[in-house]
Amino acid sequence: MVLSRADAAALDAADPLPDVRRRFVVGDPALIYLDGNSLGRLPAATPARLAALVEGEWGERLIRSWNEGWLDAPGRVGDLIAPLVGAAAGQVAVADSTTVNLYKLAGAALAATDRTVIVTDRGNFPTDRYVFDGLAEVRLVDSVDDVPAAIGADTALVSLSHVDYRSGAIADMAAINTAAHAAGALVLWDLSHSAGAIPVDLDGTRTDLAVGCTYKYLNGGPGAPAFLYVRRGLQGELVPPIQGWFGQRDQFAMGPAFDPVDGIERFLSGTPNIVGLAGVEEGVGVLAAAGIAALRTKSVAQTTMLIDLADAWLAELGFGVESPRDADRRGSHVALTHPDGRRISRALTELAAVIVDFRQPDVIRFGVTPAYTTFVEIWDALDRLRELVRSGAHETLPDPTDRVT
């Protein structure tokens, strides 16, 4: 029996997190936004925070603000993210992009060993694969399941995305860590599609290294600074390849040689973007208040409902479900496939006011952001999709260009 729209509305009425949605700007009520896994919505408090920073801290206090909260922002905001990814304080810092942080941590791991190989999977996010290609010999496996068998005595580092950016599948962090450690390798996880979306237990799984972006589920804003995690016991053993003055002990002594601080800040490089950090602090603050357990419960209910509706309405129209059907193995987005997926994705946005995104060659991603996505939005989105494809309206569009994730 298929859920009715009234059923979806009843689920929204019973939502234990309605106050969280109200902490985001939802401007156009007709627009259904299922692309929070590419760019999260604007938290309602962010404009005023950024205005106060720009006009007050920069405009009035000027350079003095560095000693009034700016210098320690990378570690302070890192400690705010830490509980969302299962990390004790002092192990997370926020600065630079996910790509640069991947490079720094993978480079540091390689420099600390004679081993030369990085193991990753063919489906890992492009920038991760490109970074590794520039650093080391890369051993590509076809699937995350093949990773343990590919780890050998030559393996310096195993690096995977915790949640697959296409399918939404969750990799088994604990099992991969155990396999890597048994072979003497370190592990670096990319949490871009999991931080703020699903529970992560970096400390509990004995993870060595992790990075993640803040502009998806953490709602930090476009291109906001990314985070990095280095297990405390490992911090003193690793030196980042980019030796910058923000990682230097007694930074303003400006001494002759690089002498990294003991803590997580040694993995910083240049001057951090302060406006970007403030956006991350606001976005993470909303999620931290909601709690990751409650967010996950709602997310599972929503992605399950989405798949149920897809089975009921869309299978007969040529759609497949690429995401795991087992909710425990699924992150907070759902991948549907369709041979004409590219054009359908564009038509959904342009003709039906539903924003999703498309991934080569045939994946339409529906990002569920439990902080602000409603059950009715999901119901309406799939209903509009069904009508669109039934009517053939998407076939009137030319082949579209891609959008960013």
Residue 86 or 357 having the CB closest to its own copies: 357
386 as an active site residue: the answer is no
Interface positions, 327-366, toward its own copies (CB under 8 A): 349, 355, 357, 359-360
**Binding to its own copies by residue 381, rule CB under 8 A?**
no
**Binding to its own copies by residue 9, rule CB under 8 A?**
no
145 as an active site residue: the answer is no
366 as an active site residue: the answer is no
Smallest distance from its own copies to CB 164, Å: 13
Interface positions, 265-294, toward its own copies (CB under 8 A): 269-277, 279
H-run or E-run covering 344: helix 341-352
Interface positions, 93-122, toward its own copies (CB under 8 A): 96-100, 103, 122
**Binding to its own copies by residue 42, rule CB under 8 A?**
yes
Residue 224 or 292 having the CB closest to its own copies: 224
Count CB neighbours of 249 within 10 A.
Answer: 14
Residue 83 or 241 having the CB closest to its own copies: 241
Residue 103 or 319 having the CB closest to its own copies: 103
60 vs 85, 112, 248, CA distance in Å? Answer: 36, 45, 28
* Rounded distance between C-alpha atoms, residue 109 and residue 131, angstroms: 14
125 as an active site residue: the answer is yes
403 as an active site residue: the answer is no
**Binding to its own copies by residue 254, rule CB under 8 A?**
yes
* Rounded distance between C-alpha atoms, residue 296 and residue 77, angstroms: 22
* Rounded distance between C-alpha atoms, residue 254 and residue 341, angstroms: 55
Residue 4 burial class via C-beta count within 10 angstroms: exposed 0-12, middle 13-18, buried 19 and up: exposed
The stretch near its own copies (CB under 8 A) out of 127-135, 289-297, 314-322, 375-383 is: 127-135
**Binding to its own copies by residue 148, rule CB under 8 A?**
no
> Which DSSP state fits 305?
H
Interface positions, 54-93, toward its own copies (CB under 8 A): 54-55, 57-60, 62-67, 70-71
Smallest distance from its own copies to CB 140, Å: 9
Q: Among 380, 351, 355, 379, which Cα is nearest to 366's?
A: 355
What are residue 265's phi and psi, to 5 degrees? -65, -15
* Rounded distance between C-alpha atoms, residue 162 and residue 159, angstroms: 9
What are residue 169's phi and psi, to 5 degrees? -65, 140
Return the active site residues.
125, 190, 215-216, 365
